[in-house]
């Protein structure tokens, strides 16, 4: 929760899954973060497999955006350079711009 | 054995690869059959030197088509796809055509046989005969496509069988360059005496070495002071086989999209000699 937010969605080395009902946090590694291409859809697949409904990130590429839309996952933008905790606080307060 | 396939590469774009390939091809075609193959499929430009009607044939590649009535959305296809071309949702599946590398892995791993492959066009091969002994074949990748190596393979196939083939390689040192150099007997590296030119020459030379293709250098736009280039070449054991001077007359023909060897016939002899030297270096070794 104290780690800085990676601004590039598909290149995020870790994804922090937060259950907003129970408040539980799980960290999963993004195996495709260093891949040559197609990281957007592959990261979205990971979110789909974990039943994620919304994502907070800096920016999403074209393929990631199509994949997120296809999967019905909302995307919110956080680019203040803070930690995952900071981003989550702004998300909960409804202060983040919606990307998708 | 005769050197049958020469790749002209440089690492850096704009160095004069196509100029060397076109003038070499034209000069050698005065005495024998030559096929020039433009493997720079993203920006083929060799045809600009020649005027002739061309025929065209499509290049296709297999892409998956998913039968959603047979699909169980198990996700194995997406799991094995290294390029993120497939996204499996709860009861839907999305295919990102522009990310697909046509490996066919998805159809192999599908447990229910829901994935079949269909051929789709990714580019074209142009073919013309601008001179009696010269065939020109150009690979042309469709805009937005990633399958450049598929188009390069198709262009190379269209050239066969032939006695002498000259490949005009793409710039850089990535997959398309490897695909072009791979089965060549010799790699002619074109360079210019600039820091960027020399740096990229070293990278291209390293690729040729890795592929075990003997290489030699052509210095283009030489201002006569090539000490630095010579130092790089000797450090990498690369013989300098030809120097094309920075010459207004050559530049003028070049600007008109013409072959300077046509208008300055002494160069036909120099390019023929270049080929003889390539034979001497690589002919006996393979």
Beta-bridge partner residues of A15: A28
**Residue B193 · residue B222 · CB < 8 Å:** yes
Separation of alpha carbons B37 and B50, rounded Å: 13
Between residues B21 and A33, which one has the greater pLDDT?
Answer: B21
Where are any strands of DSSP class E within B132-214? 134-141, 164-168, 186-191
Using a CB-CB cut-off of 8 Å, the residues of chain B touching A36 are: 83
pLDDT for A3:
93
Nearest to B87 among A36, A37, A70 (CB): A70
**Residue B157 · residue B179 · CB < 8 Å:** no
B40 phi/psi in degrees, rounded to 5: -85, 70
For range A77-90, the mean pLDDT: 94
- What pLDDT digit, counting tens, does each position of B29-71 carry? 999 999 999 999 999 999 999 987 899 999 999 999 999 999 9
Cβ pair B84:A49 closer than 8 A: no
**Residue B25 · residue B153 · CB < 8 Å:** no
Among chain A residues, the shortest Cα distance to B100 is held by A38
What distance in Å separates residue B15's CA from the closest CA in chain A?
A: 28
pLDDT over 50 at B286, yes or no:
no
B86 interfacial to chain A (CB closer than 8 Å): yes
For range B12-30, the mean pLDDT: 95
Q: Which of B8, B84, B274 is nearest to A62 (CA)?
A: B84
Cβ pair B94:A39 closer than 8 A: no
**Judging by beta carbons within 10 Å of its beta carbon (0-12, 13-18, 19+), is residue B188 exposed, middle or buried?**
buried
CB burial readout B41-67, b (16+ within 10 A) else e: beebebbebbeeebeeeebebbbbebe
Separation of alpha carbons B125 and B183, rounded Å: 20
Between residues B161 and B115, which one has the greater pLDDT?
Answer: B115
**Residue B73 · residue A45 · CB < 8 Å:** no
For range A10-29, the mean pLDDT: 94
For residues B24, B28, B29 and B35, what is the CA-based torsion angle, rounded to 10 degrees? -60
What is the predicted ipTM? 0.89
**Residue B36 · residue B135 · CB < 8 Å:** yes
Nearest to B87 among A36, A39, A41 (CB): A41
pLDDT for B284:
61
Helix (H), strand (E) at residue B125: strand B115-131
Using a CB-CB cut-off of 8 Å, the residues of chain B touching A35 are: 82-84
Provide the mean pLDDT of chain B: 94
pLDDT for B25:
98
| Residue B283: half-sphere exposure toward Cβ, Cα within 13 Å | 9
Separation of alpha carbons B65 and B80, rounded Å: 16
**Residue B204 · residue B231 · CB < 8 Å:** no
**Residue B169 · residue B8 · CB < 8 Å:** yes
For chain B, how many residues are written? 286
pLDDT for A34:
87
**Residue A30 · residue A14 · CB < 8 Å:** yes
């Amino acid at each position: 929760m104290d780690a800085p937010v990676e601004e590039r969605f598909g290149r995020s080395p870790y994804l922090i899954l937060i259950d907003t009902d129970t408040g539980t946090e799980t960290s999963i590694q993004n195996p495709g973060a260093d891949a040559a291409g197609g990281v957007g859809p592959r990261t979205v697949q990971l979110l789909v497999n974990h039943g994620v409904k919304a994502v907070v990130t800096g920016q999403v590429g074209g393929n990631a955006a199509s994949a997120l839309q296809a999967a019905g996952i909302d995307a919110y933008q956080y680019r203040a350079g803070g930690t995952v905790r900071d981003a989550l606080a702004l998300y909960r307060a409804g202060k983040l711009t919606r990307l998708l | 054995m005769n050197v049958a396939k020469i790749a002209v590469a440089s690492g850096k774009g704009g160095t004069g690869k196509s100029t060397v390939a076109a003038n070499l091809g034209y000069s050698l075609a005065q005495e024998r059959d030559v096929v020039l193959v433009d493997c720079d499929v993203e920006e083929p430009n060799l045809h600009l030197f020649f005027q002739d009607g061309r025929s065209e044939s499509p290049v296709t590649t297999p892409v998956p088509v998913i039968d959603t009535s047979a699909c169980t959305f198990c996700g194995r296809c997406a799991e094995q796809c290294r390029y993120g071309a497939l996204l499996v949702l709860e009861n839907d599946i999305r295919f990102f055509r522009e990310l697909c590398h046509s490996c066919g892995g998805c159809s192999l791993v599908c447990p229910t046989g829901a994935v079949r492959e269909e051929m789709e066009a990714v580019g074209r091969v142009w073919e013309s005969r601008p001179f009696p002994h010269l065939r020109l074949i150009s690979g042309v990748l469709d805009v937005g496509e990633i399958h450049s190596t598929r188009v390069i393979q198709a262009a190379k196939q269209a050239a066969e069988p032939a006695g002498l083939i000259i490949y005009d390689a793409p710039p850089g040192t990535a997959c398309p360059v490897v695909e072009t150099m791979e089965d060549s007997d010799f790699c002619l590296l074109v360079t210019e005496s600039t820091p960027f030119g020399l740096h990229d020459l070293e990278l291209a030379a390293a690729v040729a070495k890795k592929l075990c293709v003997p290489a030699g250098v052509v210095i283009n736009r030489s201002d006569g002071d090539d000490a630095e280039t010579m130092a790089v070449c000797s450090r990498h054991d690369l013989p300098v086989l030809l120097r094309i001077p920075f010459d207004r007359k050559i530049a003028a023909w070049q600007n008109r999209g013409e072959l300077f060897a046509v208008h300055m016939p002494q160069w036909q002899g120099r390019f023929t000699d270049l080929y003889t030297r390539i034979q001497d270096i690589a002919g006996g070794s393979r």
